[in-house]
Structure 1
Amino acid sequence: MTTDAVIPEPGRQIIGHDELTAEQADAVLAMLAAAAESDGTQAVSEQGRLQLRGGKRDGVRHFLLTVDAELIGYAQLEDTDPVEAPAAELVVHPSHRGRGHGRALGSAVLGASGKRLRVWAHGGRSAARHLAQVLGLTLFRELRQLRRPLTPLDLPEPTLPPGVTVRTFVPGQDDTAWLAVNAAAFAHHPEQGSLTQRDLDDRKSEPWFDPEGFFLAERDGEIIGFHWTKTHAAEQLGEVYVVGIRPDAQGGGLGKALTAIGLRHLAEQGLPTAMLYVDADNTAAVTVYERLGFTTHEVDLMYRTES
């Protein structure tokens, strides 16, 4: 299939922006909330939602689709990876689907990317898979959301490697050292490993941020690993937000111990369920989490152009 046959819609307009006004960002967030309620999953990732505010960000473009001045579609294109093609996420308001707006948005970001594109389909919904096919994209990444109950927790007591202690994150004091360990631990992971101070500040300013749930493992006064947890209060979910181990400290059981420490913390908050995201091809991590009682809840799929 080709993208030439975009269905005409009288009054439809797609405009790209380097940054959004506060009013535009509010309108997009309201539409994302409506879509999440309808679909049961967010159409735009946490990073994408954070990038709606705070002014211009290098490599990020916002596409607003309107019909007769009413906002009914949004796409974000991020071109910050020095190797991979630009990545996009898009959404159409649930009340306006089935009229070709998704294809129009997809065609717009495909053109803006220079026909080198990666697109997320969160939740792996059939409509998103069809749109990827229409745009000529092929599946190349599967991100799994795993879940497990926290009651009962039934986990053994965490065992730390010799000489390792654990404390919680101190905002302002630990930022630089944590960013360095995060970059080293996720050098192979384009999204997590490229986090900057601005990205960290964005998350620290979110209502869910709690340094008491951000655990740092140290040896000889240096951070060698961490487990950052997150609470989704409305959904009553605790998240294994990110677990990272400095490369020279891997293989000694520290990741398993830190994961257990974070899960115990989430259980102490009275949360009934824990969740996490992991790439399906990261078989070592999937095995660790499955042994900790996690099972697959849903999948996010990423598609890309062949070139």
Structure 2
Amino acid sequence: MRSVLTLIAATPGALRDDALTAARDALLGLGAGVGAADWLAPGQAFDLPFENVEAAQAERALRERFAGAAFDLAAQPAQNRRKRLLVADMESTIITRELLNELAVIAGIGPQIIPITERSMRGEIDFAQSLRERVALLKGLPVSLLDRVAALIEPTPGARALVQTMRAHGAYTALVSGGFDCFTGLAAKLVGMDEDRANHLVIDGEGLAGRVSEPILDPAAKKNSLLEIAAARGIAAADAAAIGDGANDIPMLLTAGLGAAFRGKPAVAAAARFRLDHADLTGLLYLQGYHANEFRE
């Protein structure tokens, strides 16, 4: 079979045999030859191989069939699904929070900063310029506030399983963030990633200088980071997986062979080839054909 449809529910037990029957019938209705289903996780995720229909056509039909259901799905070539590189965004992806927003709230300037962050993540304003504007508002804040923000870092459900499972099967993993390196190192260690890249907040004595070191790690730099990390390890971009939620992740997601929007902002969900709107981060493992009994923590 040349292609495979993957259907994923957010919770165990939510995906039943009737969904499998509906998916099979939809593919047969398109004239596809359909193989035997492979349950990746009983009641939560399955692969359904098919041929004689283009993956994009099959996916459109299945999205229409399951419109309104809390399922994630994708149709893709059956070969080379397991990726050798994972490049992930940090905030609202590998970890649950937007840390610059948290810093602003602690400092009492949330109303000035949070709306700018939201517009930037939606792609309504230039990322680099918006970062400079937000960081300028931090000038003079005590460095000690960074420790208070760091204490709020917590992994998104499925993050450690995603990273550790891919590493256990030989993949290299990198956290590439438009946030700050004072936080990415902690987040990368928390989930066990191999490396991290991010922007650097300039410190002036015991306070924040209100500046970020140039050049800023912007959307183009995220894409270039993926290409650099892949090239250094002899990995083609087609053999990379990438995941993120914000507009600054779009170039990176479009460059990877498996680029997925995770709870993506509208512009990201529209641009990305793959989407995880319901499942946790282990959904990216199911999209690669991993079975739940292969997951590692």
| TM-score normalized with structure 1 length | 0.32
More helix by percentage: 2
More strand by percentage: 1
| TM-score normalized with structure 2 length | 0.32
